[in-house]
């Protein structure tokens, strides 16, 4: 990754440029951008309007700005200046995908762009080929942060982080678009540290719920077995200890048995005793102590 001093100096220059500052805020998803500004040309005003509509999740506003631009039909022989405006094209692609609009026009526009790594990445995004090694992963990462976070697998996040940190000449390529995507993607990955697969998280949650339920049933079985052993021992007591029988007769043998039944019943119905027995069994099966301390077994019964 580039030195911190270079990064700070670059971001200071970004804050002095309305378009770069607006795009940087757009990637952060934290501010609204006005659709007009001083000394802005038509494409820039459309750009501000597009990212404002995406941030506010306003499909109608996005379509109104999108329709102003999609009337243009440039060709490879005479491409319009906006065709190679990375900021505008990225915002168009992001909104078109977000709001599920037809991709035909934007695919035609991307096809007549200058052939470079950014153009290839745009093509792959439109074709949902997010994990191609031909992509600039920082651009795909920022696109997915806007449109499809569930597609950010651990492998992809790790690959993106490696590519960004390994690019020590980031500022030498003169692409503000790629630089801003790289800086923001790096910040997000640093905060996230590890992004689990959504499918993996769902499976783990399902397993955890099933595991707790099964432990509940095992706990009941163990308590029933202990109770059975207790009753068996009491019933066999006359054969092994005549002295004990004399003692039991003194206090009513039948009452003693029913008393044992009552204690077992209380042990099953009193939540503290029941939950404690379940937690002990879960510890024996290796359930993490950190999770066990916060677990409310009674809510899973």
Whether residue 40 has pLDDT greater than 50: yes
Whether residue 258 has pLDDT greater than 90: no
Q: What is the pLDDT of residues 202-234, one digit of tens each?
A: 666 677 777 777 777 777 777 777 777 777 776
Whether residue 81 has pLDDT greater than 60: yes
Per-residue pLDDT at 256: 53
Whether residue 65 has pLDDT greater than 60: yes
Q: What is the pTM of this model?
A: 0.64
Q: Give the whole-angstrom CA distance, residue 163 versus residue 92.
A: 25
Whether residue 194 has pLDDT greater than 60: no
**Average of pLDDT values for 63-69?**
94
Whether residue 122 has pLDDT greater than 90: yes
Whether residue 193 has pLDDT greater than 70: no
Per domain, the residue ranges of the chain are: 4-195, 199-291
Q: Give the whole-angstrom CA distance, residue 278 versus residue 126.
A: 51
- Between 241 and 233, name the one with better pLDDT: 233
| 68: confidence class by pLDDT, cuts 50, 70, 90 | very high
| 34: confidence class by pLDDT, cuts 50, 70, 90 | low
**Average of pLDDT values for 286-300?**
59
- Between 143 and 42, name the one with better pLDDT: 143
Per-residue pLDDT at 64: 95
**Average of pLDDT values for 65-90?**
90
- Between 17 and 237, name the one with better pLDDT: 17
- Between 164 and 264, name the one with better pLDDT: 164
Q: Which two tokens stand for residue 292?
A: 């066990």
- Between 279 and 175, name the one with better pLDDT: 175
**Average of pLDDT values for 61-70?**
94
Whether residue 44 has pLDDT greater than 70: yes
Whether residue 84 has pLDDT greater than 50: yes
Per-residue pLDDT at 289: 66
Mean of the per-residue pLDDT values of the chain: 79
User: Mind giving me the DSSP string for the chain?
Assistant: ---HHHHHHHHHHHTTSHHHHHHHHHHHT-----S--TT--HHHHHHHHHHHHHHTT-HHHHHHHHHHHTT----SSS--GGGG-HHHHHHHHHHHHHTT---HHHHHHHHTS--SHHHHHHHHHHTT-TT-TTS-HHHHHHHHHHH-GGG--HHHHHHHHHHHHH-TTGGGG--HHHHHHHHHHHHHHHHHS----HHHHHHHHHHHHHHHHHHHHHHHHHHHHHHHHHHHHHHHHHHH-HHHHHHHHHT-HHHHHHHHHHHHHHHHHSHHHHHHHHHHHHHHTT--HHHHHH--GGGG-
Q: What is the pLDDT of residues 140-164, one digit of tens each?
A: 999 999 987 778 888 899 999 999 9
Per-residue pLDDT at 174: 80
Per-residue pLDDT at 301: 43
């Amino acid at each position: 990754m580039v030195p911190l001093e270079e990064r700070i100096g670059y971001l200071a220059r970004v804050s002095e440029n309305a378009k770069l500052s607006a795009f940087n805020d757009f990637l952060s998803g934290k501010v609204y951008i006005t659709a007009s500004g001083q000394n802005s040309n038509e494409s820039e005003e459309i750009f501000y309007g597009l990212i404002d509509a995406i941030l506010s999740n306003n499909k109608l506003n996005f379509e109104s700005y999108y329709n102003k631009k999609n009337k243009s039909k440039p060709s490879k022989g005479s491409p319009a200046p906006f065709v190679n405006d990375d900021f505008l094209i990225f915002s168009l692609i992001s909104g078109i995908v977000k709001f599920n609009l037809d991709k035909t026009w934007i695919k035609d526009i991307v096809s007549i762009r200058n052939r470079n790594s950014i153009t290839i990445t745009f093509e792959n995004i439109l074709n949902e080929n997010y994990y191609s090694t031909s992509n600039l992963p920082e651009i795909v990462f920022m696109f997915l942060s806007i449109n499809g976070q569930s597609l950010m697998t651990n492998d992809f996040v790790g690959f993106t982080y490696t590519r960004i940190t390994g690019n020590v000449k980031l500022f030498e390529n003169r692409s503000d678009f790629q630089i801003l995507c790289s800086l923001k993607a790096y910040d997000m990955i640093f905060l996230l540290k590890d992004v689990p697969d959504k499918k993996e998280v769902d499976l783990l949650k399902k397993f955890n719920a099933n595991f707790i339920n099964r432990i509940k049933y095992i706990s009941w079985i163990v308590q029933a077995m202990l109770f059975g052993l207790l009753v068996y021992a009491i019933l066999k007591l006359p054969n092994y200890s005549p002295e004990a029988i004399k003692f039991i007769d003194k206090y009513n043998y039948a009452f003693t048995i029913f008393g044992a039944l009552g204690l077992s019943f209380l042990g099953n119905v009193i939540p503290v005793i029941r939950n404690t027995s379940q937690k002990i069994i879960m510890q024996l099966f290796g359930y993490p102590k950190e999770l066990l301390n916060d677990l409310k077994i009674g809510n899973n019964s």
